[in-house]
Amino acid sequence: MANGLVHFGIAPINWNNDDMPELGANYTIEIILSEMSQAGYVGTEIGNKYPKDAIELKNILESNDLDLASSWHSTYFVSN
């Protein structure tokens, strides 16, 4: 973070759902990232519509002035 400023990111689940892909199926990655950037966000969590190739992902994020901020991961902390 430059100059002590707070930067905000957003998760793509606000446009489409990883667990129920039919929810938000009409949104392309281009629409999602463009709307994130237009809304003033500078970071994004990775989602199921994002490119799997690192170079392609970097390029599409850069073209929308976004940084990759996080990735969701499921885990079990306790098991029997």
| pLDDT tens profile 17-47 | 888 889 999 999 999 999 999 999 999 999 9
Q: How far apart are the first and last CA of the chain?
A: 42
Residue 80 lies in a domain: no
Residue 75 lies in a domain: no
DSSP state of 80: -
Residue 1 pLDDT class (50, 70, 90 cuts): very low
H/E run at residue 55: helix 54-63
Average pLDDT, the chain: 91
What would the two tokens of residue 13 be? 């689940």
Q: What are phi and psi of 66, to 5 degrees?
A: -120, 150
* Residue whose structure tokens are 């629409």: 31
Q: Are 49 and 18 in contact (CB under 8 A)?
A: no
Residue 78 lies in a domain: no
Q: Which domain, by its residues, includes 55?
A: 2-70
Task: Check pLDDT > 70 for residue 3.
Answer: no
Residue 63 lies in a domain: yes
